[in-house]
Amino acid sequence: MSTAGKVLTVLILLVMVAWLAILSGVTQLNVNWQQKIAQQDQQLHKLQVDADKASSDILRLTEAARLEQDATDRDLRVVLGQIAAAERRQSATRESLSRLKLQVADYLAAVERAQQNLTTREAEKVKADEDLSKKRDEVAKAQALNSDLRAEVAKLQIEFKRLLADNAAKANQALKDAPAAKPASSRRGSPAS
């Protein structure tokens, strides 16, 4: 094998090894990003479900508090009407009213906690959206880099094919230009014979 052939063989092997390394790196990068995107999608879905549940809980608690307040108002009017008629029932009515106020306070505290939870969930959703946006940008950058690397590999392949054709032409020309070897019969005889 000629020196040019040996050099080309080594270059081909080196380019193939580099190409395989780049291809495996890009494939691993794509797999890693797909896993991260899937995790972010799962977290986003979970946060969305939590936010929806918190919203429905707030609505339910608000309605329950309103209904309880309406019931408290009705009970209060009844108690005020009965104060004049029954002094003895006055202490029982005050006790009932105190209990109802405690319940309303509990409901209002529950509504406030639900509101705080909703605020927290909304902040988490915004952060998750920002993280997802960042990850999508990183994937886009990786895809752009991948396309650039593929274009570079295509250019190198074209250059390699051109060099291979040039070297083959030069080798053929060298074979044509080389002087033909003389046949063994036309050689001089050795002095010993």
pLDDT tens sequence across 121-162:
999 999 999 999 999 999 999 999 999 999 999 999 999 999
- Indicate whether 175 belongs to any domain: no
Residue 191 falls inside a structural domain: no
Specify if 59 maps to a domain: yes
In sign, the C-alpha dihedral spanning 120, 121, 122, 127 is positive
Mean pLDDT, rounded, for 55-76: 92
Residue 15 has pLDDT above 80, yes or no: yes
Q: How many domains does the chain have?
A: 1
Q: What is the 3-state secondary structure of 42-81? A: HHHHHHHHHHHHHHHHHHHHHHHHHHHHHHHHHHHHHHHH
Q: Is the pTM of this model over 0.75?
A: no
Mean of per-residue pLDDT scores for the chain: 87
Q: Does residue 185 register a pLDDT over 70? A: no
What is the rounded average pLDDT of the residues 163-174? 92
Percentage of the chain modeled with pLDDT above 70:
89
Q: Is residue 182 situated within a structural domain?
A: no
- Contact call for residues 124 and 47 (beta carbons, < 8 A): yes
Q: Indicate whether 60 belongs to any domain.
A: yes
Q: What is the dihedral of CA 65, 70, 74, 76, to 10 degrees?
A: 50
Decide if 118 is inside a domain.
Answer: yes
Q: How far is CA 181 from the centre of its chain?
A: 69
**Within a domain: residue 177?**
no
Domain of 53, in residue numbers? 3-170
Let me know if residue 42 belongs to a domain.
yes
Asked if pLDDT for residue 193 goes beyond 50, the answer is no
CATH number where 87 lies:
1.10.287
Q: Give dist(CA 97, CA 67) in Å, integer.
A: 16
Is the predicted pLDDT of residue 56 greater than 80, yes or no?
yes
Task: Count the Cβ atoms, other than its own, within 10 Å of residue 54.
Answer: 19
- What residues contact 125, with CB distance under 8 A and at least 6 apart? 44, 47, 48, 51
